[in-house]
C-alpha cells in the first residue's frame, strides 16, 4: 500500500473479527517500523509489550473502561522511560520523549495498515492497573494501548478530517496567503 493511501485510510477500529487471529510476526514487523522514528539524542526510550493472553486482554479492557479492547486477539502496550532523555536535555527532555513516542507509534500505526490489520490508539486507561498487570516498572510510563485484530466491517468512505485551508498559514499565524513570487525579467 502506498503511503498516501495508508495515511488517508487510517482510522480507529473498535469492532474486530472475533475468530480471525493476526500473525504475531506481522505485529513484530510493525514494532520494528517504530524503531525508525526520530529520537532525541539517539536515545530510544520506548518498550513494547505484546499481549495475547485473553485474560490479560480482558483486564486491560477493564483498566481502559473500553469493552471493545477485549475483542482484540492481541494488544500492544507501549511504554517509555524518559530518564535518559531528561538527563540529556533537562525538563525539555520530557517533551522530547513524548514527541518521539508519538512519532514511533504513528510508524507502528501505519505499518499495521500495510498488513491489513486494524487498531485504535487508546490513551485513556488507569495506568497503575496496567502497570500491575504487566509488571511494568514504576519509573516507566504507559504511553498507549493498541488492540489489534482484523476489522469487522470496512467503512464505506473516508473524508478529510479538516479542510487544509483552515490549518495552513504562511510566514505568520493567521496569514492564509503565500507571498506572491516576483517575476525576474
Total structural domains in the chain?
1
Look at residue 179 and tell me if it is in a domain. Answer: no
pLDDT, tens only, 102-129: 999 999 988 998 888 888 889 999 999 9
Distance CA 76, CA 72 (A): 10
**Residue 27 belongs to domain with CATH number:** 3.40.109.10
pLDDT at 92: 93
Look at residue 183 and tell me if it is in a domain. Answer: no
Count the residues in the chain. Answer: 185
Distance CA 53, CA 62 (A): 14
Q: Of 164 and 131, which is predicted with more confidence?
A: 131
> Over 90: is that where the pLDDT of 33 sits?
yes
Look at residue 13 and tell me if it is in a domain. Answer: yes
Look at residue 167 and tell me if it is in a domain. Answer: no
> Over 80: is that where the pLDDT of 185 sits?
no
Residue 44 — very low, low, confident or very high, per pLDDT cuts 50/70/90?
A: confident
Task: Give CA torsion, residues 121, 122, 127, 132, to 10 deg.
Answer: -80
pLDDT at 56: 98
Look at residue 87 and tell me if it is in a domain. Answer: yes
Query: What is the average per-residue pLDDT within 171-179?
Result: 81
Q: Which domain holds residue 93?
A: 3-156
Look at residue 60 and tell me if it is in a domain. Answer: yes
Centre a 10 Å sphere on the Cβ of residue 29 and count the other Cβ atoms it contains.
Answer: 14
Distance CA 127, CA 129 (A): 5
Strands 74-80 and 46-51: antiparallel
Residue 14 — very low, low, confident or very high, per pLDDT cuts 50/70/90?
A: low
* Stated pTM of the model: 0.82
Query: What is the average per-residue pLDDT within 43-51?
Result: 92
Look at residue 172 and tell me if it is in a domain. Answer: no
Amino acid at each position: 500500500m502506498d503511503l498516501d493511501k495508508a495515511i488517508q485510510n487510517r482510522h480507529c477500529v473498535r469492532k474486530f473479527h472475533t475468530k480471525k487471529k493476526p500473525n504475531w510476526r506481522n505485529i513484530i514487523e510493525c514494532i520494528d517500523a517504530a524503531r525508525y522514528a526520530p529520537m532525541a539524542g539517539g536515545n530510544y526510550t520506548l518498550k513494547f509489550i505484546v499481549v495475547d493472553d485473553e485474560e490479560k486482554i480482558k483486564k486491560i479492557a477493564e483498566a481502559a473502561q473500553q469493552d471493545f479492547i477485549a475483542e482484540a486477539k492481541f494488544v500492544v502496550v507501549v511504554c517509555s522511560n524518559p530518564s535518559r532523555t531528561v538527563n540529556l536535555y533537562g525538563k525539555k527532555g520530557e517533551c522530547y520523549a513524548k514527541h518521539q513516542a508519538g512519532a514511533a507509534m504513528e510508524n507502528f500505526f501505519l505499518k499495521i495498515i500495510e498488513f491489513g490489520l486494524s487498531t485504535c490508539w487508546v490513551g485513556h486507561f488507569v495506568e497503575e492497573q496496567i502497570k500491575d498487570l504487566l509488571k511494568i516498572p514504576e519509573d516507566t510510563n504507559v504511553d498507549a494501548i493498541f488492540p489489534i485484530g482484523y476489522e469487522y466491517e470496512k467503512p464505506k468512505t473516508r473524508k478529510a478530517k479538516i479542510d487544509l485551508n483552515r490549518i495552513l498559514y504562511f510566514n505568520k499565524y493567521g496569514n492564509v496567503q503565500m507571498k506572491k513570487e516576483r517575476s525576474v525579467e
